[in-house]
Amino acid sequence: MPLHPRRRARTGRPVWVTLLFAVLLVSMLGVIGIGGTVWYLSRDLPDVETLHSHQPSLVTHVYADDGMTIGQFFVERRILTPLDEIPRELRQAIIAVEDARFMAHGGLDVLGIVRAFMINIEALRIRQGASTITQQLARSVFLTPERSYTRKIKEAVLAIHMEKTLSKDKILELYLNQIYFGHGAYGVASAAQTYFSKDISTLSAAESAFIAGLPKAPALYSPFRHPERSQRRLRHVLKRLHDEGFLTGAQYGEAISTPLKYRKREPEVIAPYFVDAVRQHLLSTYGESMVYKGGLHVQTTLNIADHQAAVLAVRNGLRSLDKQQGYRGPLNPEQADGFEASHDGILQAVVNKVDAKSAVVTAGDLTGTIALEDMLWAARRLIGPDVNEDSVLLKSPSADQILSAGNIVEVAVKTTSDENTQFTLEQTPLVEGALMAIDPKTGSIRAMVGGYDFNRSEYNRATSANRQPGSAFKPIIYTAALQAGMTPATILIDSPVVFQDWRPENYEKKFFGTVTLRDALVHSRNVATVKLLQTIGVRRVHELAQSMGITTMLDVYLSLALGSSSMTLEELTSAYGVFANQGIYVRPYSIESVRDSEGVVLEQHKHNPTPAISAETAYLITNILEDVIQHGTGRQAKVIPYPVAGKTGTTNDFTDGWFIGYSPRVVTGVWAGFDRIASLGDKISGARSALPIWIDFMKNIEPPTDEERFIPPDNIVFAQIDPETGFLAERGASDTKQEIFVQGSEPIEHTPQRVNPRDFFNLDHATP
């Protein structure tokens, strides 16, 4: 029976009063519950006052000597930009699509919350949010991105507090610099560079609209991954701008009809080995947080032109050297990783057909031929490794002996035209190498290549690999001898000798009798050098090497004369810098200055030149090492059209090849070898492995000026000597040689300039 409206409950009150009371009670309890929940969740919320001094994670930039960015370190790639430098169109687009009532609400958009709540109740899960710009900022700075009502309550409380504490402009500025825009870009300025390779001030209205549409789902709206979805999002943002009155009809029509040109800009590391060495220094000095979040500005010494020349020289040289090891054959199918060009222009190609004189190959969209002459190096495996290409040609191998149809091979484009593409057969080298170029006057590192490919191996062979330098160490032995009072005309005896069980030999497997000190170094006479070290003493060489910047512990045995002590390429290269810098040692360095995000200088390089040898000795050694280029083991370098000096180095079994040389402007060291010690091949000396790389580099960097030359000190004098005896030459003698001396050390009569061991007996003499 229906309840009569006037029927009373047992209490005597109308039923509707009781129901109203119950509703009010439940509502009050709900409010108390919600209030209690809000209070409970608000107890440990962060202080929004900190946003006044909020410093988001910033990018550390590394610059070359001309100010160009060569590397970046970051957790979040961000370029902090003041609000007044962000285009008005971009600000309007963000507001239109993310929070149209941003300027009116107090942190929460109540209408949006109600709408989202109803949608989520209907779906029985959280499908839509109603986060304002202020709420999104609160979540990004203070909270996690989890989807829960607990997080939403915290977010709302923080947003209200933020609106009371900060101005709308400050909130918008923080938001535009904080939010993630995809592909590693945080903040609008980084997004402008990432998607358009543009400074933010140059963005068009449509480009601004595109960027504004990204924060909702950066991965989903990426133009590089989802171009159609990205285009739909752009149209939506432009419509919102038009609906909110930010764009006129004409502006909207123009923006929506103009296609955008996306230019993906990933952070480029121009010199990865160099930049990584800088990173390691920064980490050890300033710590991980400062390096990856602090926005440091690091000015370095790297010269981009020199570095590019170094990379090409090392890659080309190692490819050529690797070919001397023989052809390893075509790639296995599992080795094939696509047909796009690699970082050094090498392509993978399929061999279509082969005849005696050429092979037809297809690499990606290119089809062309490899002529027999461009694959002859691979024929060495058919007739033996110790032959040159002319010898191969004489033995008449054919192309179909080298390649077969169906092979997958590596090629490089030699020439290309509309009619045909000519390829050369290539092979990714297993052999490794390194190059270091230093300004001898300042110690600044101008180029550093630590290996063939940083992506293949991050190990820096220029700074970290300790390898035996072989004869490249000999100039330090001869420098010690000159410092001890000998002269370039001093006679050494190159004859058989045995030290306990060790019998040193010359490269040529013969002895040369009496030789001048100059000729012994120019022609790298091993036995004469060992005897010289025995005479002057190991301790003297140790002390000299240390003063020249070699910090590695050196051998105490006479084998030190032949470069048996391992050291880094950086050490030996900087030591040669002493010869080029008139006897002054300057420590090599890569960082000119470090500034924090506010521009405060944290570190500034200070030069600390230290005399290591006399200017006269430095010039004598330089003059002898110039002779190495003109008449000795470095003769290939005569093609360099300006004054250079240097020395080759080769170790036992041809496992390491070195060349260290210099002009008045730059000292450059090159090493080549395998990471796991193995022979480069019979008779592949430093002159065949490292020297070609050195020449390639030195030919392609800026040459010294006419004023930059090896200038002799004032007290260097010349005298005619008899090279067979070291005597002052007889007047009218025909077989004489002009030699240089420090004034007062030149021979003044016809007596031999021989070593007298008793002059050096005050030193300790180590023996093998």
How distant, in Å, are the alpha carbons of 366, 407, 425, 485 from that of 404?
19, 6, 13, 65
Structure-model confidence comparison of residues 42 and 77, the more confident one? 77
Q: What angle do CA 577, 436, 611 make, to 5 degrees?
A: 20
Task: Of 88, 42, 345, 81, give the one whose Cα is nearest residue 212.
Answer: 88
Using a pLDDT cut of 90, give the percent of the chain over it.
59
**Sequence-distant contacts of 249-254: CB under 8 A, at least 24 apart:** 251/205
- pLDDT tens digit sequence for 330-344: 988 766 665 555 556
Check whether residue 137 and residue 158 sit in a common domain: yes
347-354 vs 716-721, strand pairing mode = unpaired
CATH of the domain at 342: 2.40.50.140
Q: What is the pLDDT of residue 339?
A: 52
Question: Which residues are known to be catalytic?
Answer: 98, 471
Check whether residue 25 and residue 80 sit in a common domain: no
Check whether residue 584 and residue 555 sit in a common domain: no
How distant, in Å, are the alpha carbons of 85, 171, 188, 598 from that of 200?
8, 19, 7, 21
366-371 vs 185-186, strand pairing mode = unpaired
How distant, in Å, are the alpha carbons of 50, 119, 186, 609, 749 from that of 134?
15, 22, 17, 57, 95
Asked if residue 442 lies in contact with residue 387, where contact means CB atoms within 8 angstroms, the answer is no
Q: Which amino acid is at 560?
A: L
Residue 451 has pLDDT above 80, yes or no: yes
Q: What is the pLDDT of residue 750?
A: 61
Q: How confident is residue 633, by pLDDT bands cut at 50, 70 and 90? A: very high
Task: Of 107, 90, 48, 61, give the one whose Cα is nearest residue 187.
Answer: 90
- pLDDT tens digit sequence for 386-424: 555 455 444 668 999 999 999 999 999 999 887 789 999
C-alpha torsion sign, points 241, 245, 246, 252: positive
3-state DSSP assignment of residue 347? strand
In a domain, 99, yes or no: yes
CATH of the domain at 764: 3.40.710.10
- DSSP H or E stretch at residue 198: none
Q: DSSP class of residue 12?
A: S
Q: How confident is residue 120, by pLDDT bands cut at 50, 70 and 90? A: low
In a domain, 241, yes or no: yes
CATH of the domain at 240: 1.10.3810.10
Q: What is the pLDDT of residue 754?
A: 52
Q: What is the pLDDT of residue 729?
A: 79
In a domain, 221, yes or no: yes
Q: What is the pLDDT of residue 139?
A: 81
Residue 7 has pLDDT above 60, yes or no: no
C-alpha torsion sign, points 624, 625, 628, 629: negative
Q: Mark which of 651, 678, 701 sits at the end of a domain.
A: 701
In a domain, 593, yes or no: yes
Q: Which amino acid is at 29?
A: L
Q: Mark which of 372, 397, 426 sits at the end of a domain.
A: 426
How many CB atoms sit inside 10 A of residue 155's CB? 24
Q: Following DSSP, what letter does each residue of 19-68 receive, concatenated?
A: HHHHHHHHHHHHHHHHHHHHHHHHTTPPPGGGGGG----B-EEEE-TTS-
Asked if residue 134 lies in contact with residue 109, where contact means CB atoms within 8 angstroms, the answer is no
Structure-model confidence comparison of residues 705 and 698, the more confident one? 698
Domain residues for 764? 471-565+714-768
Q: What is the pLDDT of residue 762?
A: 39
Q: What is the pLDDT of residue 645?
A: 98
Residue 234 has pLDDT above 80, yes or no: yes
Number of domains in the chain: 5
Task: List, in order, residues 6 or more apart from 322 with CB less than 8 Å away.
Answer: 427, 428, 429, 430, 431
How distant, in Å, are the alpha carbons of 180, 188, 674, 752, 764 from that of 214?
8, 10, 48, 85, 74
How distant, in Å, are the alpha carbons of 35, 341, 350, 409 from that of 365?
68, 11, 12, 15
In a domain, 269, yes or no: no
Asked if residue 186 lies in contact with residue 133, where contact means CB atoms within 8 angstroms, the answer is no
CB-count burial class (<10 Å; 0-12, 13-18, 19+) for 681: middle
Q: Which phi and psi angles does 175 have, rounded to 5°?
A: -60, -50
State the Cα–Cα distance between residues 443 and 575, nearest whole angstrom.
11
Q: What is the pLDDT of residue 100?
A: 85
Average pLDDT, the chain: 85
* 3-class SS string, 212-238: HCCCCCCCCCCCCCCHHHHHHHHHHHH
Check whether residue 448 and residue 511 sit in a common domain: no
- pLDDT tens digit sequence for 149-199: 566 777 788 778 888 888 889 989 988 998 889 888 889 999 999 999 899
State the Cα–Cα distance between residues 354 and 154, nearest whole angstrom.
72
Check whether residue 124 and residue 251 sit in a common domain: yes
State the Cα–Cα distance between residues 431 and 726, nearest whole angstrom.
44
Q: Which residues pair with 379 in a beta bridge?
A: none
Q: What is the pLDDT of residue 75?
A: 82
Asked if residue 244 lies in contact with residue 165, where contact means CB atoms within 8 angstroms, the answer is no
- DSSP H or E stretch at residue 585: strand 584-585
Mean pLDDT along residues 626-648: 95
- pLDDT tens digit sequence for 53-92: 566 778 899 999 999 999 999 888 888 899 999 999 999 9
Q: How confident is residue 698, by pLDDT bands cut at 50, 70 and 90? A: very high
C-alpha torsion sign, points 548, 554, 556, 557: negative
State the Cα–Cα distance between residues 690 and 651, nearest whole angstrom.
12
Residue 766 has pLDDT above 50, yes or no: no
- DSSP H or E stretch at residue 243: helix 227-243
C-alpha torsion sign, points 185, 188, 189, 195: positive
How many CB atoms sit inside 10 A of residue 568's CB? 24
- DSSP H or E stretch at residue 9: none
End-to-end CA distance of the chain: 121
- pLDDT tens digit sequence for 239-282: 999 998 998 999 999 998 889 999 876 656 789 999 999 999 99
Check whether residue 557 and residue 408 sit in a common domain: no
Q: What is the pLDDT of residue 62?
A: 96
Q: Mark which of 672, 701, 730 sits at the end of a domain.
A: 701
3-state DSSP assignment of residue 401? helix
In a domain, 267, yes or no: no
Q: How confident is residue 34, by pLDDT bands cut at 50, 70 and 90? A: very low
Q: Which amino acid is at 604?
A: Q
Q: What is the pLDDT of residue 9?
A: 47
Residue 761 has pLDDT above 70, yes or no: no
Task: Of 729, 715, 727, give the one whose Cα is nearest residue 751.
Answer: 727
Check whether residue 84 and residue 230 sit in a common domain: yes
Q: How many residues does the chain have?
A: 768
77-78 vs 185-186, strand pairing mode = parallel
Check whether residue 111 and residue 247 sit in a common domain: yes
Q: How far, in whole angstroms, is CA 271 from its chain's centroid? A: 3
Residue 639 has pLDDT above 50, yes or no: yes
Check whether residue 99 and residue 244 sit in a common domain: yes
Check whether residue 682 and residue 729 sit in a common domain: no
Residue 608 has pLDDT above 50, yes or no: yes
Check whether residue 224 and residue 202 sit in a common domain: yes
Check whether residue 522 and residue 394 sit in a common domain: no
CB-count burial class (<10 Å; 0-12, 13-18, 19+) for 3: exposed
State the Cα–Cα distance between residues 380 and 391, nearest whole angstrom.
10
